[in-house]
Amino acid sequence: MKITDEVRISDNGFVFNSKTGDSFNVNPTGLELTKLIALGHDFDTIKNIFLEKYELDDLTFEKDFYEFCALIKYHQITSQEDPLDFK
Amino acid sequence: MSKLKLTIAVTGLNNTDNPGPGVPVIRSLKASPEFDLRIIGLVYETLEPGIYMEGLCDKIFQIPYPSTGSDELIDRIEEIHRREPIDVLIPNFDAELFSFMKNEDRLLRSGIHTFLPTFKQFQERDKDKLPDYGEKYDIKVPASLNLGSQNQISEIKEKFEYPVMVKGKFYDAYMAYNPEQVKQAFNKISSKWGLPVIIQEFVRGTEVNVIALGDGQGNTIAAVPMRKQYITDKGKAWGGITLSDDKMLEITRSLIRKTKWKGGMELELIKTVKDEYYLIEINPRIPAWVYLAVGAGQNIPEALVKLALGHEVAPMESYASGKMFVRYSYDIIVDLEKFETIAMNGEI
C-alpha cells in the first residue's frame, strides 16, 4: 500500500489528490497515520508507534487502522496492488 | 523586447450565468507581456455585461446574429474593419463559428486573421455524429440515438436503460428518467435548437474537461485538464480545479494528432469509477474557463493569436495542478447614456 504520487499532504491535515481534484480534511490522528503510511512504514511499525504513544489496545488499533485504510483507498489516496498488502 | 501592437476583435462578452468566453479571453490576452493591444468587443445584445466593464474593451460594436445571414454578419465585420483595422478575430460562440469558417478566406483577404477548425473538423464532432467519431478516432463515447420526431421516443427503451441524457444539437442537456420526461425535454430543446434531439446513454462518473489548442498540423500546443467543483443549474462551472491526469492529456494529444485539430477546443469527458474516459462532447472553441489555464501557466488565447498570425509556437508542456478558479457575480452601475448609445448607435 502506498500513497499515490498525485497526493499532497499538508501539515494542517489538508489532503489533496491532484489527479481527481478531491480534497479532504483529516484530523491529527488521521494525519499522523497518513504520514506514517507515506513514509513507507509497514503495519507492525505503525502499530508499535501508536501503541507506545497512545493508550490503545491491539484490537482497537487494528480495527481503526483497516477502516482508515479502506477509506483512503476508496478516495484514491492510496493504491494497493494486493488488497491484503498493508506493508 | 518591443511589444507586438495588435487590434483584436472578440465576441462572447455575455458574462452571465451561462458565460461566453469573450471576457476571459480578453483578460488572458491582456495578461500577455508580448502584446500591446487594442480590443474591439463585438456584441449581439445591448445588455452583454462585457460592454459595461471598465477597461475591458477600447471599442464596442454591435453585430447582427448569424441567423440573419452570414453575409450580413461579415459585411458588418468588414465595415467595422474599415474603421478599426482588425488584425485577429476570435469568435467565441458555437453558433457563429459556421459563418466565420465559411468566410475565413474573405476575412483574410481583408487582412483579418482567424484560427478556426476546418469544416470537416467542425462537422464530424457534431453531437449527433459522436458514435462515428468515437469509432473513427478510437475513443470511448456513450451510445446515442438521434430523434427526428417524438414518435421515436418509444425506441429508447429498446436501446437504453433509463435515465438517459437528452441533448440539443448545439446547447442544452437534460437528464430524463422516463419517456414523459424525454418528451418534455424534446419539446424544450427542439423548439430552441431544432432537430435532431440526441438521446445519449447516461454514463455514471465524474465530469472532467480539457481545454486544448491544436496547431492544425497535429501538434498539441496547450492542454490543461480541469474538474468542475461547483456547477450551476445550467451545468456551468462556477468553480474548478486543474488536474494532474496523464490519461486525459494522452486522450487529448491523440485526438489532436489524429484529427489535426486547428484552434481552441474543450473536451468534455466522463471518468468512470473503473478509470475509463468517455467523450461526451467537443466544444470547437475556447471555453469560458480559459483564464484558469492562464493561471496554471498556459496562455491559450495568446498562443492562438500568434498561430493566427502565422508565428511559430512551441508546445506548452507544463502547468500547475491544483490551481483553482472561483467565479463571482458583480453589479456594475451603468449610466443610461451608455446603454442609450449602444442601443441607438450600435457602437460605443
What is the three-class DSSP state of A50?
helix
Boundaries of domain holding A51: 2-79
Nearest CA in chain A to B226: A21
The answer to whether residues B99 and B11 belong to one domain is yes
pLDDT (0 to 100) of residue B248: 97
The answer to whether residues B95 and B36 belong to one domain is yes
Grid coordinates in use for B227? Answer: 474538474
pLDDT (0 to 100) of residue B233: 84
| Residue A84, domain member (yes or no) | no
Is the confidence metric ipTM above 0.95 for this complex?
no
pLDDT (0 to 100) of residue A86: 59
Check whether A87 has a pLDDT greater than 60.
no
CATH code assigned at B163? 3.30.1490.20
**Residues from chain A contacting residue B226 (CB–CB below 8 Å):** 21
What is the three-class DSSP state of B236?
coil
Report the alpha-carbon distance of residue B229 to residue B252 in Å, rounded: 21
**Residues from chain B contacting residue A21 (CB–CB below 8 Å):** 208, 226-227, 229, 241, 243
Residue ranges of chain B with per-residue pLDDT less than 70 = none
pLDDT (0 to 100) of residue B69: 85
Nearest CA in chain B to A23: B322
pLDDT (0 to 100) of residue B95: 87
Quick one: CA torsion of B3, B5, B11, B14, rounded to 10 degrees? 50
Residue B198 DSSP class:
E
- Cβ–Cβ contact B229 with A under 8 A: yes
- Cβ–Cβ contact B241 with A under 8 A: yes
- B261 CA to chain A: closest CA distance, Å? 26
Report the alpha-carbon distance of residue A55 to residue A51 in Å, rounded: 7
Task: List, for residues A37-84, the tens digit of each pLDDT value.
Answer: 999 999 999 999 999 999 999 999 999 999 999 999 989 899 876 666
What is the three-class DSSP state of B335?
coil
Return the residue matching grid coordinates 476508496. A74
Nearest to A19 among B226, B229, B244 (CB): B244
Domains: count for chain A: 1
Using a 10 angstrom Cβ sphere, with 0-12 exposed, 13-18 middle and 19 or more buried, the burial of residue B319 is buried
Boundaries of domain holding B182: 143-201
| Residue B188, domain member (yes or no) | yes
pLDDT (0 to 100) of residue B67: 85
Task: List, for residues B227-272, the tens digit of each pLDDT value.
Answer: 999 998 888 899 999 999 999 999 999 999 999 999 999 999 999 9
